Amino acid sequence: MTERPTGAFAALGAFTVRHRWAVLIAYGVVLAAFGILGAGVFGSLKSEGFLDPGSDSSRAATALEEQFGVRAPAVVLIVRTPQEVDDPASVTSAAGLESALAELDGVAQVQSYWSLGRAAQLRGIDGHTAQVIVTADEQADPRAVARQVSEQFIGTRDGMTVYGYGGPLIGQAFNDTITSDIAKAESVAIPLTVILLLFVFGSVVSGGLPFLVAAASILGSFFVIWLVSQLTDVSIFALNLITGLGLALGIDYALLAINRFREELARGSDTPTAVITTVATAGRTVFVSGITVAITLASMVCFPQYFLKSFAYAGICVSLFAVVGSLTALPAMLAILGPRVNRLRVRRGDLAPKDDGTWARVARFVMRRPWPVLVAVIAGLLLIAAPAVTAVFGLVDDRALPQDQPVSVAGQVLREQFPGYQSSPYTIVLRSPESSAAVESYASTLSLLPDVASVTTPTSVVVDGTVVAPNLMPATYTAPDAVRLSVVSEVEPLDAAGSALVSALRATPAPAAQVLVGGVAAAFTDATAGIAGQAWIVALWIGLATLVILFLYTGSALLPIKAVLLNLLSLSATLGALVWVFQGHHLTWLTGDYVDTGRVDISTVALIAVVAFALSMDYELFLLSRIKEEHDAGRSTADAVAFGLQRTGRIITAAALLIAVVFAAFLTSGTTNIKQLGFGVTFAILLDATIVRGLLVPAFMRIAGRWNWWAPTPLARLHAQVGLRES
């Protein structure tokens, strides 16, 4: 009988073996509680969170509401009339609509083309379309008001066609679409995953074990995220990561553990010894991997938007619960099953890992000619990465929703009929202005900027440096010690031209102690800048964490640096592919149709990068742990690499394929950013699990030779004291 290992993880394995039934029962009870309590998460999450709450544009929005009494509309209705909008019949129908809207609970004000004296900016270019703006009172929830308006007025009314638009309706549409998308993705991914699990694990019994771990990840995370949502805002998009990453890590960790368990049984170990050895070796790797994934995903708390912070909360929960399930319920079940883990086989042959095979042959082939392989593969990845230099980043808007969504249809009508973007002005708040004359002069200067159509001041409307009309609503433009200006442009506020105009407005000297530029374009510009500005902190966080953890695990100074560099190369290729597909609008047969905005969502790119890096570290630890184990046992570096890749290559590629199915199912989503997430993560993990682990790692380690295991004397002493060793 094989000698049992010792150490903390071996002790945990021994405890689990002795109390296997108690562990499983306790696990089941806790999961049931998580499932019941966590069910409330679906109603407590939000669809916003893309904007930077600390930016100038956010401060301008706050000032607009608190100082000037101007609130963002709860709903913007676009009304299409059978006759022209000035026809008496249209006027009568519109008056009835406005009266009915004003009677709704929570509605503070209803303004329209008609009630504002035939305001030209609220009249569509076809003469049959006009806007009605509904504002909620201070005590009402704009989302509740928007929901009432949507349910009662959107559609056909008195011969008019009424479309609904606005932030609350867009948010609700994202909520509804994502909730339905999760169900759709799971209906595709789970059956395919089950089939692949049966083939990869080789038996019905072992193929079901990943769900034991995934259940803890998903249900436990739902519960914790529900708790977090009671304390702070959490994005509904986090649910996609919970389900996708929960299944991914469940598959990864179960595959690693079951493979090692079968290996120990094949060596002649009895079931208790095999379980203890599995926990002491594969379990330690799972623990380090889970901590690494959690630390990597936690880096997203550095971003200012709660959309991205939500993924940090979700990622930490998913990875830690996956570790708990892998170190408790999974070994307990293996202790109960023993050799019966291979029952109900679906493929022939010995299910225990082999010492020699395809991956060992690939490793030896690469190590016989490491330089040509290294140069060729790097050149190929750089070629794939090339489109990344043309990347145009932005944020999602209503165009990310399915084109048949009512709010998307409304957005399209709004763009077609109101190309001047009067409903999306640039707001400028001037605090402690010098004088009224100075403000008017400043407005005249702004009106001469390229792409500026008009500037409204507290007293006038200025076009091309000339006053063309008085301001019809001066009261809302003046506050104690502050005034505001409204700048209208004819460029799409969410495109690059909108961001350029924001920069131009901010660069123009203003006669005030403080200048705040707000509005939709400024908010999106600041959100993009907020992500880009924090990216270096996130990258530093992840890089340092990777270097420290891999050093503590391997004792090498070189291998952690290699891991970071190869992951960066892989991520660069992923970004290049993402830009080519979504910014270039290619492969629509794979991604499904969507509105081409000519840019990629920067929030999704940040998420893909962090998630892909975390999963890459998963595979890196799987491979390096086995290579190091064999090297420490006396094998040469070349033999250790070949044996380690043979033992883990199948695990890594099988896990990557299964995870790819989970994330590729996101391509069925109706929202463009979720499509981007599905494609990006799928591409990254398949690339990493095949090309990077199968070719670049063996080539690099063959070239480095004995330097793979080198560390400066002080670091070697440090590792001897605090290193993470196998038993």
Average pLDDT over residues 276-281: 93
pLDDT score of 605 more than 50: yes
d(CA 651, CA 255): 6
185 within 8 A of 669, measured Cβ to Cβ: yes
Average pLDDT over residues 614-628: 86
Burial of 726 per CB tally in 10 Å (0-12, 13-18, 19+): middle
Question: What is the 8-class DSSP label of residue 583?
Answer: I
**Tokens encoding 478:** 């003046």
Ranked by mean pLDDT, the top range of 339-343, 574-578, 630-634, 719-723 is 574-578
Least confident of 289-303, 483-497, 503-517, 713-727: 713-727
pLDDT score of 727 more than 50: no
Q: Which residue do the tokens 């562990």 mark?
A: 23
d(CA 269, CA 656): 29
**Tokens encoding 344:** 């109900």
What residue ranges define each of the domains in the chain, with the CATH number in brackets?
1-43+202-353 (1.20.1640.10), 74-165 (3.30.70.1320), 357-403+531-727 (1.20.1640.10), 425-518 (3.30.70)
Phi-psi category of 698—alpha, beta or left, where left has phi over 0 and alpha has psi -120 to 50? alpha
Tens of pLDDT, residue by residue over 202-215, are 889 988 899 999 99
The strand pairing partners of 433, in sequence order, are 512
What amino acid is encoded at 43 in this protein? G
Residue 355 banded pLDDT, cuts 50, 70, 90: low
pTM: predicted TM-score of the whole model, two decimal places: 0.86
Q: Which residue do the tokens 């995953």 mark?
A: 193
d(CA 643, CA 355): 7
Count CB-CB contacts under 10 A for residue 171. 19
Tens of pLDDT, residue by residue over 82-129, are 999 999 999 999 999 999 999 999 999 999 999 888 877 789 999 999
Tens of pLDDT, residue by residue over 40-53, are 888 888 877 888 99
The strand pairing partners of 135, in sequence order, are 109
3-state class of 515 per DSSP? strand
Average pLDDT over residues 53-82: 91
Predicted confidence at residue 65, as pLDDT, reads 87
Q: Which residue do the tokens 């500026």 mark?
A: 452
Angle ∠(714,718,724) on CA atoms, nearest 5:
145
* pLDDT over 70, % of the chain: 98
Tens of pLDDT, residue by residue over 444-455, are 999 999 989 899
Tens of pLDDT, residue by residue over 126-183, are 999 999 999 998 888 888 999 999 999 999 988 899 999 988 898 888 888 877 887 7
d(CA 251, CA 238): 20
Q: Are strands 600-601 and 393-394 parallel, antiparallel or unpaired?
A: parallel
